[in-house]
Amino acid sequence: MEEYEVGAFVEGLRQMFTALERLPMPTIAAIEGAALGGGLELAMCCDIRVAGKNASLGLPETSLAIIPGAGGTQRLPRLVGLARAKELIFTAERITAERAEAIGLVNYAVPPGRAKDKALELAAAICANGPLATRLAKQAIGSGMQCDLSTAMDVERGCYAQVIKTKDRDEGLRAFHEKRKPEYIGE
């Protein structure tokens, strides 16, 4: 890639990854093998990450005399903390799925070849819940993490208010009372 093309290319990645992160429904990354550089930046845009124990994860850009440019310098500290993110980016270290799980970069480290299965299991558990509530919970978490706690509580209050008058809320409470599984319709 020519030098003059790099800026536009990386900006395109940044915009695409941000669009993924902002999807209203929960997203899950299933990682097998290498998730390095842009691959890890893409996975970090997802709400949940599952990695096979054969996975290698890292942001090796500094070893190439560049920096993570598609959101890695901003998303990694929010996932693993400032000091750990600095260490991983400054050293360009590649880590195992087990270490990634231990530091909070991935939610689960599973046997090799099973990341997709675990991701689908999680997706099924999410889909069993009220779709409006799940969407609004994601919105409250995502928006709330971008502001101070007092403002975040206002965000949560606004999202909560939207589920009060839904048919799904009525169905969920009725199903709980009747000791049966709810049948949500997204209304």
Q: How would you class 164 by CB atoms within 10 Å of its CB: exposed for 0-12, middle for 13-18, buried for 19 or more?
A: exposed
Q: State the catalytic residues.
A: 41, 61
Q: Are 50 and 122 in contact (CB under 8 A)?
A: yes
Closest of 45, 46, 76, 83 to residue 59, by C-alpha: 76
Token reading at 137: 């919970």
Collapse the DSSP code of 112 into the 3-class scheme (helix H, G, I; strand E, B; otherwise coil) and give the result.
Answer: coil
Collapse the DSSP code of 101 into the 3-class scheme (helix H, G, I; strand E, B; otherwise coil) and give the result.
Answer: helix
Q: DSSP H helical segments within the chain, as ranges? A: 3-21, 38-44, 72-80, 82-91, 97-102, 115-127, 131-144, 149-163, 167-177
Q: Are 116 and 76 in contact (CB under 8 A)?
A: no
| Gap between the Cα atoms of 38 and 30, Å rounded | 15
